[in-house]
Amino acid sequence: MRIHWLVFFCCLPFGCFAATYPLPTAGNVIGQILTIQAQGGDSLFDIGKKYDVSLADMQKANPGLKKKRLSRDDTVTIPTEYVLPDGNRKGIVINISELRLYYYHPNTALVSTYPIGIGQEGWATPVANTFITDKVAGPSWHVPESIRAKAAAEGKILPTVVPPGPTNPLGEYAIRLNLPGYLIHGTRNPNSIGERASHGCIRMWDANVEELFRLVTPKTPVNIIHQPYKIGLKADQILLESDHPLTEHTENSQLSIIASAILQMMASAPFEINWDQAEKIANQANGIPTAIGNYGTGQSCSFC
């Protein structure tokens, strides 16, 4: 059963748009799945944006709602529960397989999370451990020669520099990384969030990148990872959150990766897993943390 739950929105000094959660004192899962009744004329995009969920994730969570405009009797699932990625909870963590960015606030036990757009096939966003070098309000876009050449081959002539303004694809804010040519920036195409649509940069909705811009400082660490299968611990449940691996990152075996993560996490606790359920959730790749077992009690889960 899905329960109604109010997302915790943090009021930071600069205002707040992102979904911000207290870090769990036990386990590694934040948020809850929400269900709401649509209002006449709502769209999945409009509803998702209110909760910082991309249209792509809203569509995966609501496969039966294909229509562009919803009716008042439509029940909408909002996938606002997340397993925190593995690794250090410091600075920015970008999970490119999830198309989501996590920002761990310094000196406080809070994490904000934002949907993102990443590099399209052939222009992949790299996996890297880097940091912020600079922040620019009203950035100019220095168009890479590779992009100008591709555009020219399609009969389009791009300038070498696009000045700040409404035609600049970087939006109003850019955060430079210690990766030449890669930025975190806004977008003139809000529908590209949740998609592989950029030339390698990380795109954010304008309100979100403005907020992140004001929160981060140079030298903030940025860890870009590819983690399509995340194992969550919540109460006595083991959860699996699965997204499709990106095509440039091959996975030898879904279950072997999942099993290895579970064994590592459960090294000192009894657990029981329904492996058929784990394989099903891995293949669904809907990004919703789902129970696949129990731990800590030595007893099986109800479906194991």
Q: How far apart are CA 149 and CA 156, in angstroms?
A: 9
Nearest one of 7, 18, 48 to 216, comparing CA atoms:
18
* Structure-token match 């099993």, residue found: 259
- Of the candidates 50, 43, 45, 38, the residue with the CA atom closest to the CA atom of residue 9: 50
φ and ψ of 84, to 5 deg: -65, 140
Specify whether 185 is catalytic: yes
Options 10, 11, 105, 185, the catalytic residue: 185
Q: Regarding beta strands 75-78 and 34-37, do their DSSP bridges make them parallel or antiparallel, or are they unpaired?
A: antiparallel
Both structure tokens of 132: 């912020």
Residue 49 and residue 212: Cα distance in Å, rounded? 16
16 is catalytic: no
Bridge partners, 272 (sequence order): 294
Q: Please, which residues bridge with residue 216 across strands?
A: none
In the set 4, 105, 201, 249, the catalytic residue is: 201
* Catalytic center residues: 185, 201
